[in-house]
Amino acid sequence: MRLLLDTHILLWYLDNNPKLPETWKRYIEDRHNSIAVSMASLWEITIKVSLGKLELLDNLTTIENILRQQGFDFLPIRTPHLLHLLNLPFHHRDPFDRLIIAQAQAEQLTLVSDDGLFAAYSVPLLDR
Is the whole-model pTM more than 0.85?
A: yes
Under a CB-based contact definition with an 8 Å cutoff, are residues 67 and 28 in contact? no
pLDDT tens digits, 49-102: 999 999 887 888 999 999 999 999 999 999 999 999 999 999 989 999 999 999
pLDDT tens digits, 96-125: 999 999 999 999 999 999 999 999 999 999
Task: Look up residue 118 and give its DSSP letter.
Answer: G
Task: Look up residue 125 and give its DSSP letter.
Answer: B
Residue 49: phi and psi, rounded to 5, are: -65, -45
Q: What ranges do the domains of the chain cover?
A: 2-113
Say how far apart CA 95 and CA 97 lie, in whole Å: 6
**Domain 2-113 maps to which CATH number in 3.40.50.2000, 3.40.50.1010, 3.60.21.10, 3.40.1710.10?**
3.40.50.1010
